[in-house]
Structure 1
């Protein structure tokens, strides 16, 4: 089974359209969205409706959670007063733009999705979260201490854990086996469709392949492919510049930070 997973669109409709076109070309067996449909750009309603109309199973991101409740807090970890001020403009505009039906959709999105496979007389659990299983806005960066990351996955009973939120894709393979018995777990940040922060302005999504021989005993039996795609970055950046949003957000799209 080939599964397409994408996240962190952040109201960037040109990026979402390009992402979905690329996914269609891949012809996956299943598609999931890991949240943060809105914020930081102008197409909040259009992005929500694109996901709704395609009936893509979707979980709530921290931004979706806040907007769904008409909150002025997106749960974002802004580090400076400047970032906080910019963020306040974004969430205020998003709350003003979002329509009632679209807000209700965001409010009812589930916190996580768990898919249990029965393979080789054993189970293989795929867990989809936005930040982490513990908290919707917890950042799991690539340099997270191995013991900490393993503990999070073990407590959630996750053999494969896919998440977003940091906008920086990576794949780490951890071994939680004991007494010489391997138990490989895969921690996968699937990157961002509409607001990459890894220095590459192209959008990113994931193709996860689970086959009949996939097992926690064999780390290579699960395939992970990050797909980068082009989209009309200038259209998305200019939409920001022509809106009340800070022009700095346009620069972020152009440079991928």
Structure 2
């Protein structure tokens, strides 16, 4: 089983289109979005429409729940209604080698949609979260900082950001998770028309600072 996981598009259509082109070139069995389709750029409706057209299972991100401000008021009524019905978490349960493997998908964490689970978050705290949800693999977004961390025999993965990286690399990021006898995590980086996305911000009512953050990936 090969699963694609992506998150934090933030209404960046050039990045989203480049992501889909890369994704479509790979053989995956399932695709999941961990939220934050909107905010920070001008194309929320185009992104939501395509995610719905492809029937991609999607979580609610913290930005998907916002309603005020230019970036959020661009949403159509139909797409707002869609966002309001998205789940907080997705649990995938596998039977492998006569044992169970539980994969939990969350935006921030399973406790709070806007919680940052970072690479250096206290190990005991992460284990507490994973144990209470019976997660063998916990996949999150929100921080836009990709990493893969083993804690004992448990897997913690931040899948990074498609449309607003913050790790100093402006290329979009998503994860390919391969499940067989072992868990394999591959981070995929892809270039996109960054200037198109940045200039869309600069010619909109959004703060120009957001364009600078796209260019410098912070």
Normalised-by-shorter TM-score class? over 0.9
Gaps of 5+ in 1: 73-91, 176-183, 214-220
Q: Deviations over 1:228-248 (max 9, x none)?
A: 001000000000000011111
Higher gyration radius (CA): 1
Offset of 1:24 from its aligned partner?
Answer: 1.0
Runs of 4+ in 1 over 4 A off after TM superposition: none
* Structure 2 CA distance for aligned equivalents of residues 45 and 99 of structure 1: 7
Offset of 1:26 from its aligned partner?
Answer: 1.4
Residue pair 2:39, 2:72 contacting (<8 A) in 1 also: no
* Structure 1 CA distance for aligned equivalents of residues 154 and 214 of structure 2: 32
| Structure 1 position 174 matched with structure 2 position 151 | yes
Q: Deviations over 1:71-95 (max 9, x none)?
A: x4xxxxxxxxxxxxxxxxxxx1023
Q: Is the helix fraction higher in 1 or 2?
A: 1
Residue aligning to 1:36: 36
TM-score (norm 2): 0.98
Offset of 1:107 from its aligned partner?
Answer: 0.4
* Structure 2 CA distance for aligned equivalents of residues 254 and 26 of structure 1: 27
Alignment partner of 1:26: what SS? Answer: coil
Residue aligning to 1:218: none
Offset of 1:96 from its aligned partner?
Answer: 2.1
The structure 2 residue matched to 1:192, chosen from 157, 161, 182, is: 161
Offset of 1:99 from its aligned partner?
Answer: 0.8
Residue aligning to 2:78: 101
| Structure 1 position 252 matched with structure 2 position 209 | no
Gaps of 5+ in 2: none
Residue aligning to 1:128: 105
Q: Is the strand fraction higher in 1 or 2?
A: 2
TM-score (norm 1): 0.84
* Structure 1 CA distance for aligned equivalents of residues 8 and 78 of structure 2: 21
Pairwise CA RMSD of aligned residues?
Answer: 0.8
